Homo-oligomer: A and B are copies of this chain.
Amino acid sequence: MIECPPMRLRVDLLPKNNYEDLVILVDVLRASTSIVMLLAHGAREVVVARTAKIALATREEGDILLGEHQGMPLEGFYHGTSPAELTQIKGEGRRILYVSDNLPRALSRIGRPQHLLLGTFRNAGAVTRAALSLAEREIAIACAGHARAEALDDTLAAGFLAKRLVRSLGLRTDLQDATRLSMALLKAFPDPQEALWQSAAGQLLRRLGFTEDLALATLISQDTVVPRLQDDSGEAPNLFTFKPWNA
């Protein structure tokens, strides 16, 4: 009889570059939240690019252009990436070009593990089920962070996902300190909105008037969509295409 080694779980407070199996990338404010919502509202796929130039070079007829720089919409784009605004987009069946600094930076650092999913509060149930179904040896929850530093919102969401996975996997010991730390934050923030409110990303959005984003970003398991990074080999290395994963 072959004995299977137990599934490993790790939480990284910032993205690392040593993943092989499955990564859940968490960028609560806002990319994970917005992309989950866009796909949940029927968009065919979301193509993430670091700059408007890269996005515009790949533009095809019918594409919807969304972009932000430090929270604000990009000039000439359809509009920004605020979750509160995304609900108004008629994106059904269409391709979204999505420009953001933070997610592409994290994706570049992470490289190409076997499976890369976007996770956040909004798809907590679905993304953890998908991870358990796809991973073979290790589930890594990687926080995108904010301005290259640890982010309170991402760390809390990572703890939220980790706690579900710990329960599903029946893990008890052998958790790394970063995993325990992220899960401990759940006790400190029984209402995740409070953490988003305090976070640097949340403070920036509040100053810009996007307070509703914080509430929308913390609706637990509101959506069942799991954005999965597609194998883009052949395409430009600076483009990251996400489609809904189907069990």
Report A's interface with B, CB cutoff 8 A: 13, 146, 149-153, 155, 173, 176-178, 180-181, 184-189, 195, 198-200, 203
Contact = CB atoms under 8 A, between A and B. Distances in A.
B184 A188 contact: yes
A243 to B, nearest CB: 31
The 5 A-B residue pairs with the shortest CB-CB distance, nearest first, are A184-B188, A187-B188, A152-B177, A150-B178, A188-B188
A245 B187 CA distance: 37
A140 to B, nearest CB: 13
A195 B183 CA distance: 12
Chain copies in the assembled complex: 2
A177 B189 contact: no
28 contacts: A13-B13, A146-B177, A149-B176, A149-B177, A149-B178, A150-B177, A150-B178, A150-B181, A151-B177, A152-B180, A153-B177, A155-B177, A155-B181, A176-B200, A177-B198, A177-B199, A177-B200, A180-B198, A180-B199, A184-B185, A184-B188, A184-B189, A184-B195, A185-B185, A186-B188, A187-B187, A187-B188, A188-B188
A150 B182 CA distance: 11
A173 B197 CA distance: 12
Contacts of A186: 188
Contacts of A177: 146, 149-153, 155, 198-200
A213 B195 CA distance: 33
Contacts of A155: 177, 181
A185 B178 CA distance: 12
Highest count of chain B CB atoms <10 Å: which of A155, A184, A185, A198: A184
A69 to B, nearest CB: 20
Given A146-B177, A176-B200, 18 more contacts: A13-B150, A149-B177, A150-B177, A150-B178, A151-B177, A152-B177, A155-B177, A155-B181, A177-B198, A180-B198, A181-B181, A181-B185, A184-B185, A184-B189, A184-B195, A185-B188, A186-B188, A187-B188
